[in-house]
Amino acid sequence: MIKVGIYGPDAINSPVRKQLLRLLLRHPDVDLRAVASPAGNTVAIADLHPVYAGETDLTLERVLNIDGLDVLFVIDEENLTDEILSRRAADPEFSVIVLGKAPNCRVQALAGGEGAPIYGLPELNRKALVRGARYAVSPRPEVMIIELALLPLAKNGLLNAPVNVSINTAFPLDEVKAEVQTLLQSVQPSTRAEMSISAAEPAPYERVDLHATMDTPIAIEEIDRLYREAYEDHNFVYILNGIGPVDEDLRGSNKCLLRLSKEGDTLTIDASMDALTKGITGNAVHLMNLIFGLHERTGLSI
C-alpha cells in the first residue's frame, strides 16, 4: 500500500481537497494517513464532509506529519514548506505531487534542469514519470485541455498555422497562452504558429470546454488517424466520431473527450473534460499511479 498524505490549501472546505479525498479514499492501493491545512483547526473529515462518514477516521489537522509517508499531495505551491522540500531532497523514496495553484513550479518544470519537477502531463511525459520521478506538478485544467487538443499536431510537425482557441475560464488568458506555447514548442521546436485565446461562456458544473480552429491542407481522415494513434495507448483521452461540441456529462470523470471535423481547409477541434477531476485531482492521482508503477486507470475508472 502507498502511504499518502495531503497538505493544503488554506480553505477549510476546499473542493479540490474534497475531490482528492474522494479519489484517494476509494483507491485500492492507497493508505491515506494524514490530511492537514495550514489555516485549519482540527476537525474530523467525516464531520467536514459527511459523504465520507464510515470511510475514514482521519481528522483535518493544522500541523502536517510527514513521517512514514511515501507520497504527499501538496495543494497550491505556497504550501511547499521547508520541511517538505528538505524531506524530498534527503529521501529518494519520498515523492511530492503539486496540484492547484503552482505557477512557479510549472515554469521550473517546463524549463527542466536538476531539481525541477516533472511537468505532469502523462500523455506527453509518461516515460519520465515511470522512470524514477519523485517530484511532479500538474498543469492547470485550462492549459491541459489545450495541450491535449493540439499535442498530436505538434508531435507530427503540423502545428504551422495560426490557431484560434475559445475556452471557458476566468484565469488570465495570457498566462494560459504562455504555458501552452512553451510546452508545444518543446514538442515541435519548428512551430511558429500564432495562438489567439478568447474566453467563452461558463460551462455547467466544473467542466472546461474548448473550441479550436486552424487551417491545414491535411485530410480529416489523416488527422483523425494521427490523433487516434497519439492516444491509443493512453487511458483517458478519447476521439469521438461525429461533429459539433462534446455535449456529455463528465462530472467526476477522468476522461478528456475530443471531436475533430473539417470544412474546406479549416480544422475544428472540440474538447471537454471535468476541470476538477481530469484537470486537477484525477490527473494528480494519475501521476501517483505512474510514479509507483500502478496501472494508469487504478482508482480512476470513473
Specify whether domain 141-275 bears CATH 3.30.360.10.
Answer: yes
pLDDT, one tens digit per residue, over 1-31 is 999 999 999 888 899 999 999 999 999 999 9
For the beta carbon of residue 283, count every other beta carbon within 10 angstroms: 27
Domain with CATH 3.30.360.10 in the chain: 141-275
CATH topology of domain 2-139+278-291: Rossmann fold (3.40.50)
What is the C-alpha separation between 241 and 261, in angstroms, rounded?
9
Residues of the chain with CATH 3.40.50.720: 2-139+278-291
Cα–Cα distance measured from residue 224 to residue 147, given in angstroms and rounded to the nearest whole number: 17
Rounded to 5°, the CA angle 63-65-69 comes to 150
Range ranked top by mean pLDDT from 182-196, 243-257, 268-282: 268-282
Q: Give the pLDDT confidence of 230-261 residue by residue, as tens digits.
A: 999 999 999 999 887 888 889 999 999 999 99
Q: What pTM was computed for the model?
A: 0.95
The SS3 of residue 132 is: coil
| DSSP for residue 3 | E
**CA atoms of 276 and 281, how far apart (whole Å):** 6
User: Which pLDDT band, with edges at 50, 70 and 90, does 302 fall under?
Assistant: low
